Structure 1
Amino acid sequence: METAVRKRPIHLGDHVRRMRTALGVKQASLASELGTTQQNISRIEQEEEMDKATLERIAKALGVTPEAIENFTEEGAMFNVQTLHDNASGNLTSGNFNSYTFNPIDKIVELYDALLKSEREKNELLEKLMREKESNSASRV
């Protein structure tokens, strides 16, 4: 007895959501990249169909091809994400990956040094004012 395999239609919105989630991109970040709202991204992800231009814009923002979204599978996504990670050289500029051109620890140290310098200058000014006040008080007596 043969079992008929019923193929579900492609739900592009669901594929977009699953691809975005697999890439670790939040709806708000994708919305910002596309110049729209998070609510609009949520609506798109609930729709079964979408026009080709929208699919292409979303794919570009996620750093994938429209075909990758259309043919999305969990196994394929994990392979592609792992491959993207393994082949990345330094900073990733596509999608919503942060790339820093500075060391955050160096910035913290720099800010701390500036704060320390400011405190030292303030202390020196206060000591100078105290000495002037003491000398003015001594000369009056």
Structure 2
Amino acid sequence: METSTLTKPAFIGRKIERVRKLRGMTQEEVASSLGISKQAFSKIEQSDTIEEGRLIQISSILGVTLDGLKKFNDENVLNNTNNFYEAVNNSSVNNGFECTTVINNPVEKIIELYESLLKSEREKVEILLSKSKTQ
């Protein structure tokens, strides 16, 4: 039986929720990976203490280190992000290495999705119109 080492670094459940959302994962996905229900995982995200073994599992699923999960805070994420973009924007070359910024634009993905849905709906309309003409 696993020993119950409880971790209580400033509401760990909230940190898990923030990391999960930043990773673009749903409660269902994480719960499924843990072999528990969505409701059980929701309770974990509302907890201020979590067994160390479970915390290790969750950090692995979220793709972060245990230490990174325990020490996570929004302010550090924002500072690190701002520092990264400032470094890239200040110079195209840092320490002899060219910096490349990859922009993953979700708006483009939304437009692609919308266009494919629109195309599908137009095809449905054409099928319905051709059926109504034959009747």
Q: Give the TM-score normalised by the residue count of structure 2.
A: 0.54
1:11-52 Cα distance to aligned partner (Å, 9 max, x none): 533432343456565534432454422221133231513223
CA contact (8 A) 1:31 1:38 kept: yes
Indicate the residue corresponding to 2:61 in structure 1: 61
Match of 1:117?
126
Q: What is the DSSP-based 3-state SS (H/G/I as helix, E as strand, rest coil) of the residue aligned with 2:60?
A: helix
Q: Is 1:10 matched up with 2:9?
A: yes
Q: What does residue 95 of structure 2 align with? A: none
1:51 aligns with 2:60: no
84, 103, 106: which one pairs with 2:115?
A: 106
Report if aligned partners of 1:22, 1:78 keep a CA contact under 8 Å in 2.
Answer: no
User: Counterpart of 2:130 in structure 1: which amino acid?
Assistant: E
Amino acid of the structure 1 residue aligned with 2:9: I
Aligned counterpart, 1:71: 71
Higher gyration radius (CA):
1
| Contiguous gaps of at least 5 residues in structure 2 | 1-7, 86-100
- Report the count of equivalent residues: 107
Any stretches of 5+ residues in structure 1 without a counterpart? Answer: 1-8, 92-99, 127-141
Letter in 2 for 1:78: L
In the alignment, the residues of structure 1 paired with residue 103 and residue 60 of structure 2 have an alpha-carbon distance, to the nearest angstrom, of 19
* Rounded Cα–Cα distance in structure 1 between residues aligned with 2:31 and 2:102: 24
Scaled by the length of structure 1, the TM-score of the pair is 0.52
* Aligned residue type for 1:41: F
Q: Structure 1: how far apart are the matches of 2:24 and 2:133?
A: 51
Alignment partner, residue 95 of structure 1: none
- Structure 1: distance between partners of 2:102 and 2:63: 13
> Could you tell me which amino acid in structure 1 is paired with residue 43 of structure 2?
R
How well do the aligned residues superpose, as a CA RMSD in angstroms? Answer: 3.7
* Partner in structure 2 of residue 129 of structure 1: none
Determine which structure has the larger strand proportion and give its number: 2
